[in-house]
Amino acid sequence: RQAAFRTDLSVLLDQVGTGKESLSFMKRRIRRLAQQWATAANRLDSKLEQRWRDQKKILVHVGFLTEESGDVFSPKVLKGGPLGEMVQWADILTALHVLGHNLKISMSVKELQGFLGVPPGRGSCPLTGPLPFDLIYTDYHGLQQMKQHMGLSLKKHKCHIRVIDTFGTEPAYNHEEYATLHGYRTNWGYWNLNARQYMTMFPHTPDNSFMGFVSEELNETEKRSIQQNKVNNMAVVYGKEASMWKQGKEGFLQILHQYMEVHGTVYYETQRPPEVPAFVKNHGLLPQHELQQLLRKAKLFIGFGFPYEGPAPLEAIANGCIFLQPKFHPPHSSLNHEFFRGKPTSREVSSQHPYAEQYIGKPHVMTVDYNNSLEFDSAIREIMRTKVEPYLPYEYTCEGMLERVHAYIQHQVSLHGTAGGNRITGPLFVPLPNSTALVWASNVTAPVAWPPLSSLRLLVSQESQSCVEACQSAGFICDLKRPTDVVDSEINHILPAFSVMRRECGLQRDPLLFSCAGHSPKYRRLCPCRDLRQGQVALCRDCL
């Protein structure tokens, strides 16, 4: 069946259900952005020019909101707890609904069993027969629950699963045997999925797919009125929970206070939280639309280093604020920071919000060393002098998200490790004597190549450099999911690569170990990069 765009969200709102603050939060968000989604649907509809889109049967199982996983999030929705995940799930549900797919939503193990056809009362009875869905979106909690309730058949149906995974999962952690043997085993990883099946909040791990979320868009009249009404000396602090204000913040808060009126949206019950200095005008935790209003007036949105990589800075920048955030020296990662410990990635987080730093940058974003009070002081003064326009990258608009999710659903058809419709052989790397040059093998075959081969650019990294960095520094993005021809070589997530000492190329034997992230001082990586669309890094130029 052909999928038809939907602009009426009432059926979706009924499906989301009631009875929990998290669900109410998501529904308020869906309602608030309904008009924006409808406009985006109409735009994408005409952009795609009647192209055939398959209607898919999709199950969304939100594992972290199930009682069975402990649901620690719902009780904290109104108390300053994390909201980023709920923002993202609300937007994923809306995107799938608006794209016209046949959607079922599950927020409990019982509902999951019902949808998968597991008879009630026979909790662990494995699913037999075909999977009644083309795609299942879930998270790590949900994956665990599906394993318990589908038994062995999970393995058979694995390629239909997409895992919403905020911080990303790198191939070395995902590959069970490799992770176990080489010290990459964590509580979350080792599911042996294709790394593309993990979908992240920001495009920070090109081995994974970038799912994202949306932010509010402004029309030209709103943009103009915001710019006229900006209060040049008004700052809003990023941090809705009092603990984010603890320790070591006094120094730069004092400097900030010399120049600006400081506002906060810190949750409190009856008394002002002691962590928040008296000069801060605290509004308490605000509903999303009221936070937007506050951001429309403010000139500066300032991060204290936590939370990492949340939605709020994009909302602030979209409302015409400049986002000031701390640079991390050394970068935070699972090797040196409690928050990331045990997460299935070695990614180095260079600031509180690397996307804002690397993809948006000046004049909207300033990333400075907060320990250097001179640098901090001059950043504040520069911000007060600088005029900026509200800015939202296309990939975080409703149309951008619809475009991306549409492309994934229609093109990421088979995400199996070794076989499937999208498998291509090649590129073939050929070591040349006394040279690190590579040539394309002429026998490259691509039955259903997506992204198309025309988008591919081959690069060799520097020693110690990963393919993420090598591709990025040439203005491309790493796209290392193509199995090369198999030759005998060691098993290593650095491959394909050129060994500088041995002057030879090693190819990747295991499709699950292709990793953009891997790097080593002994190797120069061979990096298939691809071109990208302006404002939509998930898609190559000819990928729509």
* Binding site residues, ligand UDP, CB under 6 A: 82-84, 87, 240, 265, 285-286, 288, 291, 307, 310-312, 315
Give the whole-angstrom CA distance, residue 333 versus residue 326.
15
Closest approach of ligand UDP to the CB of residue 292, in Å: 7
Closest approach of ligand UDP to the CB of residue 288, in Å: 4
Closest approach of ligand UDP to the CB of residue 325, in Å: 12
Q: CA distances (Å), 540 to each of 260, 285, 407, in order?
A: 43, 40, 11
Give the whole-angstrom CA distance, residue 279 versus residue 300.
17
Full strand arrangement of the beta sheet holding 161-164: 102-106, 57-61, 135-138, 161-164, 198-200, 209-210
Closest approach of ligand UDP to the CB of residue 522, in Å: 39
Half-sphere exposure of 394 (CA within 13 A, CB side): 12
Give the type of residue at 265.
T
Closest approach of ligand UDP to the CB of residue 311, in Å: 4
Burial 293-312 (b: 16+ CB within 10 A, else e): ebbbbbbbbbbbbbbbbbbb
Task: Choose between 307 and 393: whose C-beta lies nearer to ligand UDP.
Answer: 307
In the block, tokens 């994202």 appear at: 212
Task: With both helix axes pointing from N to C terminus, report the angle between 84-98 and 34-47 in degrees, rounded to the nearest 10.
Answer: 50
Task: Choose between 237 and 253: whose C-beta lies nearer to ligand UDP.
Answer: 237
Task: Choose between 37 and 133: whose C-beta lies nearer to ligand UDP.
Answer: 37
Number of Cβ within a 10 Å radius of residue 88: 22
Task: Choose between 148 and 288: whose C-beta lies nearer to ligand UDP.
Answer: 288
Among 239, 142, 156, which Cα is nearest to 199's? 142
Give the whole-angstrom CA distance, residue 90 versus residue 96.
10
Closest approach of ligand UDP to the CB of residue 8, in Å: 24
Burial class (CB in 10 A: 0-12, 13-18, 19+), 429: buried
DSSP 98-146: HTT-EEEEE-SHHHHHHHHTPPTT-TTPPP-S--S-SEEEE-HHHHHHH
Task: Choose between 29 and 56: whose C-beta lies nearer to ligand UDP.
Answer: 29
Closest approach of ligand UDP to the CB of residue 495, in Å: 36
Task: Choose between 64 and 191: whose C-beta lies nearer to ligand UDP.
Answer: 64
Task: Choose between 312 and 405: whose C-beta lies nearer to ligand UDP.
Answer: 312
Closest approach of ligand UDP to the CB of residue 21, in Å: 12
Residues 6+ apart with CB under 8 A from 386: 322, 363
Closest approach of ligand UDP to the CB of residue 312, in Å: 3
Please give the structure tokens belonging to residue 175. 């590959």
Closest approach of ligand UDP to the CB of residue 238, in Å: 7
Please give the structure tokens belonging to residue 20. 């929990």
Q: Is the dihedral of CA 395, 401, 407, 413 positive or negative?
A: positive
Residue 368 contacts residue 206 (beta carbons within 8 Å): no
If DSSP codes are grouped into helix, strand and coil, which group holds residue 303?
A: strand
Task: Choose between 180 and 243: whose C-beta lies nearer to ligand UDP.
Answer: 243
Rg (CA), the chain: 24
Closest approach of ligand UDP to the CB of residue 270, in Å: 18
